[in-house]
Amino acid sequence: MSVLLSVRDLTHRYGDFTAVNNINLDVHVGQCVGLLGPNGAGKSTTMEILEGVLKPSHGEILYRGLPIDKNFKQEIGIQFQQTTLPDYLTVKECLKLFSSFYESHALISHVIQLCQLQEVANQYHYTLSGGQKQRLLLALSLINDPKLIFLDEPTTGLDPQARLHFWQLVKQIKQEGKTIILTTHYMDEAEQLCDQIVIMDKGQFVAEGSPEQLLNDNFLPQIIELDGLYPAYVFNSLPVKVSQCAGKTRIECQCFDDLLPALKRPDVSSQGMSVRKPNLEDLFLKLTGNELRI
C-alpha cells in the first residue's frame, strides 16, 4: 500500500510552549487514520499543519513523496466542525459556489446523491437539521473530488441515529478509494471507521497501530469489573492484572475461569459484576490518564 502523506520530525511551538513535539506519521492510500487525544494534546495544531493551514516550526509534510505546495489544496477536502455559509443559499447553490473554488470538481448531482441530500437539495442551508448540516459539510469537502479528506470531529452534537448514518457515509467514501484523516472524541466512532489509530498526548504520539493491534498489545482478552474496591491480596495468586477506578475493581485476565478462585471467597461479591472485552476507551484512559482536561 503506497504512502499518500508523510509527516517527518514535525514540531510546532507557540512562543515557549511546544504544542507538537517531533512527531512522525505515514498515511497510506485508502486508509482512515484516527487522531485521538484529550483536550490540549496538540490534535488541532497537528491537523492545521497537515491541512496546510499552519506552517510548522520544524519538520516537513510530504504529499506523494514531495513537499506540499499550492496545488495541495486542490487535492484535499476539509470538513471543519463549523463552516459559515452565505445567507439564502440552497444546498445545491452552496455546492455550486464551492465547486467554483477549484480547477476541477465532481458532479454536483453525484455528491448530492453520495451524501444523501436529494430531499433537501433545494432547501436553504440554514433550515437543515443537525445531521443534514453535517452531511452538507461533508458534501462540500468532497466537491473537488479530493484524494485526501480531513474530518474534524464530524459527528459532535449529533444524536445516535444521525451518527450511525454519518458513519455509513464515511464507509461509502472509503469504498471510493478516498484517504481520510479523522479526529474524534468518540472511541466507538474510531473503532468503527479507522484502520489506524494514533493517540496523542502532550504534543507527542503515545501509541500508533490498528485498533485490534493496540488492544492486543495493551490488554489481556477479558475485563471483569466488580463493584467496590478490593485489596490486592484477594488476587495475589491469580494470573490477572488488577486496577481500581471510580469505585470499581477491574481485573484483566485471559479467561473468566482465571478469576473463579477469587469469586469463591466469602469477602468477594459478584453482584453487579460485568464481563467484557477491552475497547478503545479503556486504551485511551490507560495512555492519557483519568484526569479531566479542559
The answer on pLDDT for 190 being more than 70 is yes
Place 194 in a pLDDT band, splitting at 50, 70 and 90: very high
Tens digit of pLDDT for each residue in 53-101?
A: 999 999 999 999 999 998 999 999 999 877 889 999 999 999 999 999 9
Place 293 in a pLDDT band, splitting at 50, 70 and 90: low
The answer on pLDDT for 264 being more than 80 is yes
Distance of CA 35 to CAs 76, 235, 243, Å?
17, 36, 27
- For residues 98-119, give the mean pLDDT: 94
DSSP notation for 216-249: HHHS-SEEEEEES---GGGGTTSS-EEEEETTEE
pLDDT given at position 290: 61
d(CA 151, CA 138): 8
Query: Could you give all domains of the chain from N- to C-terminal order, each with its CATH number?
Result: 220-277 (3.30.70)
pLDDT given at position 291: 57
pTM of the model: 0.90
Instruction: Print the SS3 string covering 112-167.
Output: HHHCCCHHHCCCEHHHCCHHHHHHHHHHHHHCCCCCEEEEECCCCCCCHHHHHHHH
